[in-house]
Structure 1
C-alpha cells in the first residue's frame, strides 16, 4: 500500500498526518533497526539524517533525501523535527541531552513504525523467553492461515516488515513484536491489540539505576495495549498488576484462564489436555510457561484449541536456546548462548538432573552468581571465560570446582578435556557476549564450531 496516502487519515494514533510529510528526522545508530528505519522513512518521503558513532561502512542505497555521518554524533542531528534513537544507545549521551533541552521529540523505531501500521500488533515482553514465545505464537498463526510477520527485538526490524507489507491488501496480516525494555522506553503513541508480559527478573542493571526502574520500564507496555496478559505467578508482576481493578488485564495460568499448567501438560479450563511437554520438541519446564503464553494469545486472537495443539507439537526450538548439539564420546552438548542473564541460566540448569558442566562468562550485567550454589547436586564443574570470568569463578569457588580461561575457545576445549561419560556440557553464559563476540548468535555458533572440530564432525 502507499503509506504516504495512508498517514493522512490514520487519526487513531493522534499523529499530525500530512504535515509530517514535510518534516525531517535524525536517526542515531546505523545498526539493523536504524538502517531499516531510514529506508522506511525515505519511502514515506522524509528527509533523513543517519548518524553512526563508529566509522563502519553503512550499507544503504543512495537517496537525495538521505545524509549520513560517521565517527561522531554531531549537532546536525538537532536540525530535525524528530530524533529516532536506536535501542542499544542509552538516553544519557550528550547529543540526546542537547535534544531534550531543545525539546525535540525523541522516539524509537518501534514507535515510528507504529504510526503507519494499519494491521494488528501482538506484543510480547519479559526478561526471559520472549523470542521463543514470539516464535511459537508466530508459527501457530502461520499454520492457521495468517500472514504473520515476526519482528522487533527478535532480530528483524519492525519497519523492515512494514516495508514488506506495503501494497499487500490481505486482511490476514498480523505483526508479532518482541519488545525489550530498551524498545519500550521511548514508546508514546504505540498501540498493540494484545500484549503479554512473561516475567520480570533482574537484568540490564548496567543500564538502569536500579531494579525498580527496570520493572517500571517493562510495565509501561500496559499503557499501550488494548488487552494485556501476564504471568500472575511471577512475583514482580503479581505485586505490580491487579487484574481485579482493570478489565483489560488478564492472568495467565490461573483457575480463570483459558489454559493452565498441570504437571507437565497444558490443559483447558475444563481439564482437557491440550498437549504435554513430551509431545513437543522443547526441553525444560520453563518452556511450558512460554507455550501457555503463546497459546493464550493465539486463542484470544481467534485460533481454535485443536489448531493450537497441532501447531505447537510441530514447532522446533530456536537456535541458541538449550539447543541440543549432539552426543560425542557419551557426552551431550547444549548451546544456550542466548542466556545473557542469571535467571535464564538458572532455568537452563533446572532442565537437567545431574552431571552438568556449566560454561559461564562474558560481560556480567550486575548479577551475583553465587546464587547458583543451590544447584550443587546438578552442577559437576564450572568453567568461566571472558571479561567477568575470573570474578564469577572466584564467587563460585567456595561451592564448586571452578576453572577460568580468559579465551572462549580455550575455555571450551578445557571443559571438553575434563568431561567424562554421561556428562552434559552446557554453554549458558549468564552474561552478554560483547567482550569477545558481536552478539550471542556468534558466540553460540563459535561454540558449535569448536565442538565439531574437537570431535571431527
Structure 2
C-alpha cells in the first residue's frame, strides 16, 4: 500500500542517516514522487540498501557529511539519534532548512489514528499494554516507533479502521511540525538524555511537543501525581484525562486500595493484576485511559491485566539457579529506572550496573540501596559507579569485563534467596549495539549457569 502524503509542500528532501527509519522515510518519499538525496557517514557505497535506493531514483552520498548535501534542499528528515549541534546540522539551521524526524511523515499518513506514548520511563510497557488491550477488545491496532516497526512504514500500511499505537522518544518529538496524535500519553519526565538535549528544560520541552499540535477533539492522558506535568498540561488545547495512584479523579483514571477506576466506573480489582510495582501501576492506569479512549472494553482490559507479566528486558524474570532469582532489566538506561527496579524487591539484591558514560551522577540511587548487598560493575561507568558505591556503603563491589562475566561473578558471591538483578542505570552503546543485545547476553549467561 502506498498512501499519499497530504499537504506536503517540499520538493527536494535530504534523508540524513540510513538506519531503519531513514531507509523507510526515503522509500516513502520516493514513492510519493519527491526528489530524495540520502546521506550516511557509516554505510558503504556497495551496501544493498544503497543500491536499492539508487535504483528507486535517490541520490546517495555515503562516507562523510559534506556541506554540499544541503545544496538545493528544502527539508531534512533526520535520524533521531543525530544531535542538532553537529557541524552539518548547524549549517542546515543557518541556511534555514526545516528539520524533521520520520515520525512527522508517519503522522501525515496516519491522520487521526495515532495513539502516541512518551515519558522517561514506562513507554514500552504502556505501549504494549495499550495495544494488547485494544486487540483483546477486537479493536484493530498496529504497534510502531521505538518498539516494533518504523512508524512511517506502519502508517503507510494502516487500514482506515486501524489504530497506530506508537512509542515516542524525545529525539523523535523534537523533530515535528504538525504531528498530532489523537490520543497523547505523557507518563513522566525525569533527568535523561542530557548529553543530547543539554538541559533538563530542553528535554522537557521536546516531550511536551506530543500535545502541542492537539486540538479540542483530541485527548491528553497525563500523570496527575506529577506537579510538573499537571502544570504543563494546562497549556494543552486537548481534552485532559489525568491518571493517579493517590487521588480520586472523576474525569480520569485512578486507583484506590482495591480497584482501578475509569472516571467512576470500576474496571478491575487490583489483586487480579499480575504486573508488580508502583511504577507499573502508573503505566497500567495510563494504558487503561488510552485504551478506553480508543475503544477498548473493560473485558478486554481485564483479560490483558490478568495475564501480562511484563515486556522483555524490563524487570523480566529469567529464572532460578540454586534458589537465586535472576531478573533482566537491561532497558533501565537511567538511574530512575534502576531505582524503580530496586523498589520492586524486599529480598537481598546483587545489582549489575554500568554502561555508557553520559555524564550522569548516580547520587539518585543512594536511597534505593538498602537491600543491595553487592554491586557488580561493567562498562565505561564502572569506576564512577565503584566510587559511588563505596561512598554509599555497599559492602561488596566487583568489576567485570562485560555482562556475561558480571552474571557469573554475581552468582559466585550470592547466597540462597538473593535477587541477581541486571538494571544498568546506563545506556548500552559503549559495549553493545542495543539494550536488547545486552539483556540477551545476560539471559545466555543465566542459562549457562543453569
Q: Same fold (TM over 0.5)?
A: yes
Q: 1:355 to 1:59 in 2, by over 3 A?
A: farther
1:266, 1:288 within 8 Å by CA — same for their partners in 2? no
Residue 445 of structure 2 is aligned to residue 450 of structure 1: yes
Write out per-residue CA displacement over residues 9-65 of structure 1, whole angstroms, 9 at most, x where no aligned residue: x4xxxx3x5x65xx2211111111111111222222222222111145644224241
SS in structure 1 opposite 2:33?
coil
Counterpart residue number, 1:28: 16
Distance 2:89 2:370 in 1: 49
1:120, 1:174 within 8 Å by CA — same for their partners in 2? yes
SS in structure 1 opposite 2:138?
coil
> Of 232, 236, 240, which residue of structure 2 is paired with 1:240?
232
Distance 1:157 1:247 in 2: 26
Q: 1:373 to 1:2 in 2, by over 3 A?
A: closer
Q: 1:48 to 1:285 in 2, by over 3 A?
A: same
Q: 1:105 to 1:246 in 2, by over 3 A?
A: closer
1:241-256 map, 5 Å? 241-242=233-234, 248-253=239-244, 254-256=248-250
Q: 1:267 to 1:91 in 2, by over 3 A?
A: same
Counterpart residue number, 2:291: 298
Write out per-residue CA displacement over residues 356-415 of structure 1, whole angstroms, 9 at most, x where no aligned residue: 111110013333323323234321111111101111111111221222224333222211
Write out per-residue CA displacement over residues 59-78 of structure 1, whole angstroms, 9 at most, x where no aligned residue: 42242412222211123421
Aligned length: 437
> Of 400, 407, 426, which residue of structure 1 is paired with 2:402?
407
Counterpart residue number, 2:370: 377
Residue 361 of structure 2 is aligned to residue 368 of structure 1: yes
> Of 49, 53, 61, which residue of structure 2 is paired with 1:69?
61
1:124, 1:196 within 8 Å by CA — same for their partners in 2? yes
1:185-264 map, 5 Å? 185-225=174-214, 226-242=218-234, 248-253=239-244, 254-263=248-257
Q: 1:268 to 1:222 in 2, by over 3 A?
A: closer
Residue 345 of structure 2 is aligned to residue 357 of structure 1: no
Distance 1:220 1:321 in 2: 26
SS in structure 2 opposite 1:206?
helix
In structure 2, the gaps of 5 or more residues are none
> 1:115: how far off?
2.1
Write out per-residue CA displacement over residues 139-177 of structure 1, whole angstroms, 9 at most, x where no aligned residue: 111222222111112242111212333xx4xx4211111
Write out per-residue CA displacement over residues 104-159 of structure 1, whole angstroms, 9 at most, x where no aligned residue: 21111011222232451111110000011011111111222222111112242111
1:34-45 map, 5 Å? 34-45=22-33
CA RMSD of aligned residues (A): 2.1
> 1:433: how far off?
0.2
Distance 2:252 2:313 in 1: 30
In structure 1, the gaps of 5 or more residues are none
2:319, 2:325 within 8 Å by CA — same for their partners in 1? yes
Counterpart residue number, 1:50: 38
> 1:450: how far off?
1.2
1:46, 1:65 within 8 Å by CA — same for their partners in 2? no
SS in structure 2 opposite 1:117?
helix
Taking structure 2 as the reference length, the TM-score comes to 0.91
> 1:300: how far off?
1.7
SS in structure 2 opposite 1:267?
strand
Taking structure 1 as the reference length, the TM-score comes to 0.90
> 1:317: how far off?
2.0
Q: 1:174 to 1:412 in 2, by over 3 A?
A: same
> 1:283: how far off?
2.8
Q: Tell which deviates more after alignment, 419-428 or 110-119.
A: 110-119
Counterpart residue number, 1:345: 338
1:274, 1:309 within 8 Å by CA — same for their partners in 2? yes
Counterpart residue number, 1:127: 120
